[in-house]
Structure 1
Amino acid sequence: MNWKRSFYIILVAQMFTSMGFSLIFPFLPFYIKELDTALGLGTEVLSGLVFSSQALAMALVSPLWGAIADRYGKKPMVVRAMIGGAVTVFLMGFVKTAEQLIFLRICQGLLSGVISATSALTASFAPREKSGYVMGSLQVAVWSGVATGPFIGGILADISGIRTTFVITGTLLFLSGVSVLLFVHEKADVKQKKEKKNSNLFSDWKSLFTNKKVMVVYVLRFLSSMANNMLYPVLPFFLAAMVGVKENLGTLTGTVIGVMSVSTIVGGFVMARSSDKFGHKKVVILASAFTALFFIPQGLVGKMWQFVALSLFAGLCSGALTPSLSALLVQSSDRGTEGSIYGFDNSIVAAGRAVAPIAGSLLAVQFSYKFTFIATGLVFMVMAIFAYFLPKKNEFVYDREFYPVSVSKNDFNPEP
C-alpha cells in the first residue's frame, strides 16, 4: 500500500470536514436565538446544552466504534463518521425548535467522530518514528479547515442566513466521505483481525487502562479538550459586549475565530516538524504554561486589538499541544489497537467537550464572561503541572520492526 497517497487524501478530506463543521460550530448560539423553545430555558443554557449533548453522546459510543474498527477495519469507521455527520448536520438546517436541534446534535455525536477515526486509520499504516509529523499534519489539516470555515460561515450567515451553512456543511461532509471510500485503501491484516474478533472486548479495554503511559496522556487530553471548548458558548456574546454592535456579528465572530485558528495552524505546523526531536513531554509542559499565561488576560481587556493579539499568542502555544499528545498516544500503543486507543481518546475528548460548555455557560451566568477566560487559563496551567508525570522520551516504545525498510528524509517533506 502506498501509505503516503492515502495519507494525503485523508489530509484533504479531514480539512474539508473540519471546514464544514466550523461553518456552523461558532454560530450555533446565534441560531438558537432564532429558534423557539418548549422548555423556556435561557439562550446561554440552551447554548451549553447544544454543545454538550453532542459531546456526551460521542463520549458514550466512541469506545465501541474504536473496538469495531480494530476488528472490522478503520476505513469503514471514517466513512461512517463523515456520512453520518453529513446527514445529521444537513437536517439541522430545517429544525424549528432548540429541542429538535439538541436531538440532532445527539444523533451527530452517536454517528460522527471524524478526527479520532482518521487518526486511528492513519496511525495504523504510518511509520511510528514519524508519528509527530503525521499527527501534526493531521492537526494542521483540522485547523486549516477551522480557520477558513468560520470566516466563510460568518459571511454566509449574514448574507443568506445561518440555515444555509448547514446545507453546505452536509454537502462537504458527504463529499469527504465519498473521497475516502473511493480513493483510500486500507491494507487488510487478516491474522490481526481474526485475533481481535476472537479476543474478549472487555479484556482488551482492561489492558488499555492498565497502561500508565496511555492513562497520563488521556488525562491531559481531557484537560486540553475542556480548556479549548469552555469559551464557545459565550464567545459571540463576549465579542458583542466588547464592540457594542449588533449588526454583522456572524462575520465578526467568524473573523476573530479564523484569525485565532491561523495562529494555531502555525504552532501545530512548527511543532509537527520538530517535536519528534525536541521531545513531546517538554513541548506539552511549555506549551500548556504559555497558553495559560496568554488566556487569562483575554477576559480583562477592553479593546478588540488587545483581545486578538492575546488570542494569536495563545493559539500559537495551544497549537503545539495536540500533535505532541497524539504522537504520545501512538508511541504508547501496540499495533492493531489503534481503533480502541483513539476510540477511548475520542470519548475522553468528547467528555471534556461535554463538561466545558456547561461550565463556561454557568461561569458566565453566575459571574461574568471574564471568569470563563480565567478558568480556561487555569485549566491549561493544571495541564502544565500534570505533564511532569509523562514518561521520559526513551521510555516510549517505537515499533521499528514493523517497518524494516528505512525511509528517506525526503519522503516526509511537507507540501502545501
Structure 2
Amino acid sequence: MNRIYLDHAATTPVKPEVLDAMMPYFTQSFGNPSSIYQVAQINKKAIDDARETIAKHLGANTNEIFFTSGGTEADNWAIKGIVEANKNKGNHIITTKIEHHAVLHTCEYLEKQGFEVTYLDVNEEGVIDLEVLKAAIKDTTILISIMYANNEVGTIMPIKEIGAIAKERGIAFHTDAVQAIGQVRIDVKEQNIDALSLSGHKIYGPKGIGVLYIRRGLRITNLIHGGAQERGRRAGTENVPAIVGIAKAMELAYTDFEVKNERIKGLRDKLMNGILETIPYSKLNGSITNRLVNNVNIGFEFVEGESLLLLLDMNGVAASSGSACTSGSLDPSHVLLALGLPHEKAHGSLRLTLGEGTTEQEVDYVLEKLPAIVQRMRDMSPLYEEFMKNNQ
C-alpha cells in the first residue's frame, strides 16, 4: 500500500539538500565553535553564515537572530524573558485563546507567578477583533503574544496591524510564526514585530532546532544560563549540523516561493472543495480565503475524529485531528471550541495539511476514499440514525 502523508503541519521530511548540507558537520567539521583552532572556527563561520541567511528572509539584522532547540523553547524564552525584564513596568500579558500550547501553558505558568493574562476571543474564522485588542490594553500591559498563523485551522492573523497597535502603545509584540514560515513572506521591521519564533522541522529541516528573533534594544532576560554561546544570550554548545540545516531549509523555502505555494494552494482548494461537495453535513473550519496555502480543516457531523484517523491510516493516509502536540488527548481541540464549535462537532474534525511532495493523484485518492469512510462511521452512529429519521 502506498502511504500518503498529509500531516505537514505536524512535521515535514528533511529535504535531501538539507541533509547534504548538514552531514559534514557530524563527522568532519565536528569542532566546538567556542574553541580557537581552525576546525572550530570553520564551525563558527557556518553558524554566522546560517544566522545571516535566516536574518535575510525575516528582514532582520544578523545580530537579532538566536538559535534555540525549537519553537517551544523560542516561545518560552520570548514570553518569560520579556515579562521578566519588564515587570517593573507592569504585569499584564495579552494573548489569544487559540495559541499553541507552548504559548498558552507558558502564560498559565506566569499567572501562577502573579502575572495577569487576557485571553482574547476569536471569531468563527479564528481571527481577533483589533478593536477588542485595543480595549484589552491596560497601563500595565507589557507584552502582546499572538500567533502569525494557527496550526490547526490555518487562519492568518492581521500581524502588521497588531504590531502597529503594540508599537503605538509602547508594548512588546511577540508572534509564534512556526506554521507561517515558508508559506508567507515576513518582514519583522515592516510588521513591527519585536520577537518571532520559528522551528526547523516545519520547513523540511531537522527537528530540535529553532530560532528566536529578538529586535535589537528589546528588553529580555535569558531563559537558559551557562556558557557564553549566542553572544551570552543562550547557553549551551551549538548544534552546528542543525543550525546549518535550518538555514538551508529556510533558503529553500523561499526559492521559487510563489510557484511552489500556488501549486499547493491549487491542490488544497481541490481537496477542500471536493470534500465539501461530496460529503454532506461537513463544514470548513477557519477562514475560506485568509488561511495557509496547505491547510484543510473540516468538521464532519456524527463522526468521531480519532476513529476517522484510524480508518484513514488503514487506507494509507496519515492525517490529524488537530495539533500533533495534543494527539494523545481525548479532549476536543481548544482551537475549535474557541471558534464556537460545540464539543461533539469539535470532536469530529479532520486536519489535512499538504506539502511540497503532495501530488494530484494523492488528493484524488483521498477524495475517493474519504466519503465512504465518513459514511461507514455515520452508519454506526445512533445520533445520525435519529437525525436521518427526523429529516426524511
Specify if TM > 0.5: no
TM-score (norm 2): 0.26
Larger radius of gyration: 2
Structure number with higher relative contact order (C-alpha < 8 Å, ≥ 6 residues apart): 1
Name whichever structure is richer in helix by fraction.
1
Name whichever structure is richer in strand by fraction.
2
TM-score (norm 1): 0.25
